[in-house]
Structure 1
Amino acid sequence: MTSGKIGNQASLQSIFDPIIAAPSDRPFVVAQLGQSLDGRIATASGDSRGINGAAALDHLHRLRSNVDAIVVGIGTIIADDPQLTVRRVDGPQPIRVIIDPKGRLPATARCLATGDSKCLVVTSKAEAVPKGAEGLVIKASAPRIEPGDIVEALFKRGLKKILVEGGGTTISHFINAGMIDRIHILVAPLILGSGIPGLSLIPVGSIDEAIWPKTSAHVLDGGDVLFDCDLRHQRRG
């Protein structure tokens, strides 16, 4: 594992190089997760605002500006009502994609009314899409729409570079399905002691079965640490 200090946008650029240089003949999927030192993304009551600092938020918005689509689960929309825009940095606004198999997306969601890009709703029923969004219907035999089917459908629409932003359950599903090329984990210097965990993956029986990605660590201004993990290059424990 390598490490370094990040203090400005220029020194951040190398972190985005794998995304920018990703081959165009296949999807490239990066995930982002912000958490505490003890691996929590929110308190037990669901409060997550303020866990990561300003530099970490800048990084997230810069990450958004380097992809074609941002993917979040409906739970993130209901809990946080994010805009999913690029507003802290200069850059293009990606398509916003909401995974909503049961038609729970509120018509008042801010992602439907802000930004200059369209909002796609991944669902199994076209009639479940509210006004202001476009449905991306993917037939599913189970209540959950499979990550591989979502990535394939987005890639067919020309959305080749995809950011899976949240929440932890959605990111975990994508990792379990083997669909994540890279993950940026932003660890804030605080301990919550309890709350909602970041990742919940398929259990392993031994350390040898764990995911050991090629990783670099970078200290951001304000104390957050960015772990840039290449999930396509792993070693055994």
Structure 2
Amino acid sequence: MNTSIENANLLLPIPLPHLSRPYVVLSWAQSADGQIATRTGDSKYISSPESLQVQQLLRRDCEAVLVGIGTVLADDPRLLCRLPEEQNPEQRQPHRIVLDAHFQTPGESCLCSTSNEGPVLVIGAQAAQRAASGTEKKDQADTEERIQKLAARGVQIARVAIDEDSVPSRLKLSIPAVLDLLYERGIRSLFVEGGSAIITSFLKQNLADRVILDLSPRFIGQGIPAVRDLGVLSLGEAKHFRTRSVATWGENVVWVMER
């Protein structure tokens, strides 16, 4: 099938539906058996050279791209659109969002060092809720110091409520609160890249409007699954989407589905 830039509108609806939150696109590359990396974390590249373009098109066309702190620590991504000028004549760059409850994003990360190329926003847990979770005073002081270092690198800082399912040892941010915050900041389209905990949270809470799977004809076996427990006990409870398109991009298959 044709995989040209002209077919990029298959990835996003035009115009976007009018919602009271950003339109959310989940997209990730996975093996044929549903893994986004090997057990050692190796994932470069499950995408084919051609299907990697999907990621770049979404970074160009969505107003923001979002990942979790696990992805930042494991991969140190820039999350910038790297399309050549003829494919991105306006040189668009997305707002880059990190969900990071404890503000662990390193000040020397690629995101921070490229904050002049596109806005970077790190969203963490509200201070009172971090304290209520049992965080020691020294840890709280260390967190505030990390926040100051991020701000000094030009990174924007925001705080939201934690998810009601959070446990003290692993705080999770409220995804609806994150979406409300982004909407208030004028963001109307959001590309969620992962990792698996973030993908699972959006799917579990029915907050994904479109899913784009980049499927590789490889089998990994035991690795890091793209989607974790969704609490589904019967097929009637499964998260159901409608197929919009299926196309071959190099040796991979790109499957676009929507609610």
TM-score in same-fold range (> 0.5): yes
Structure 2 spans left out of the alignment, 5+ residues: 128-142
1:14 equivalent in alignment to 2:10 = yes
Could you tell me how far apart the structure 2 residues matched to 1:179 and 1:170 are? 11
Could you tell me how far apart the structure 2 residues matched to 1:158 and 1:176 are? 25
Structure 1 spans left out of the alignment, 5+ residues: 233-237
Report the residue type matching 1:197 in the other structure: P
The residue that corresponds to 1:78 in the other structure is 73
Deviating above 4 A after TM superposition, structure 1's stretches of 4 or more consecutive aligned residues are none
Structure 1 residue 11, shift from structure 2 partner: 2.6
Contact 2:161/2:177 (<8 A) preserved: no
Could you tell me how far apart the structure 2 residues matched to 1:19 and 1:41 are? 29
Could you tell me how far apart the structure 2 residues matched to 1:27 and 1:152 are? 8
Structure 1 residue 208, shift from structure 2 partner: 2.4
Structure 1 residue 203, shift from structure 2 partner: 2.8
Could you tell me how far apart the structure 2 residues matched to 1:14 and 1:205 are? 32
User: How does 1:189-228 map onto structure 2 within 5 Å?
Assistant: 189-228=217-256
Give me the TM-score of the superposition, normalised by structure 1: 0.88
The structure-2 alpha-carbon separation of the partners of 1:161 and 1:134, relative to structure 1 and needing over 3 Å to count, comes to same
Identity of aligned residues (%): 29
Could you tell me how far apart the structure 2 residues matched to 1:53 and 1:35 are? 11
Contact 1:96/1:119 (<8 A) preserved: yes
116-125 or 135-144, which deviates more: 135-144
The residue that corresponds to 1:156 in the other structure is 184
SS at match of 2:232: coil
Report the residue type matching 2:124 in the other structure: T
1:134 equivalent in alignment to 2:135 = no
Could you tell me how far apart the structure 2 residues matched to 1:83 and 1:117 are? 10
CA RMSD of aligned residues (A): 1.8
The structure-2 alpha-carbon separation of the partners of 1:198 and 1:148, relative to structure 1 and needing over 3 Å to count, comes to same
Could you tell me how far apart the structure 1 residues matched to 2:200 and 2:14 are? 20
76-85 or 198-207, which deviates more: 198-207
Report the residue type matching 1:136 in the other structure: A
Structure 1 residue 6, shift from structure 2 partner: 3.2
Structure 1 residue 20, shift from structure 2 partner: 4.2
Structure 1 residue 183, shift from structure 2 partner: 1.0
Give me the TM-score of the superposition, normalised by structure 2: 0.81
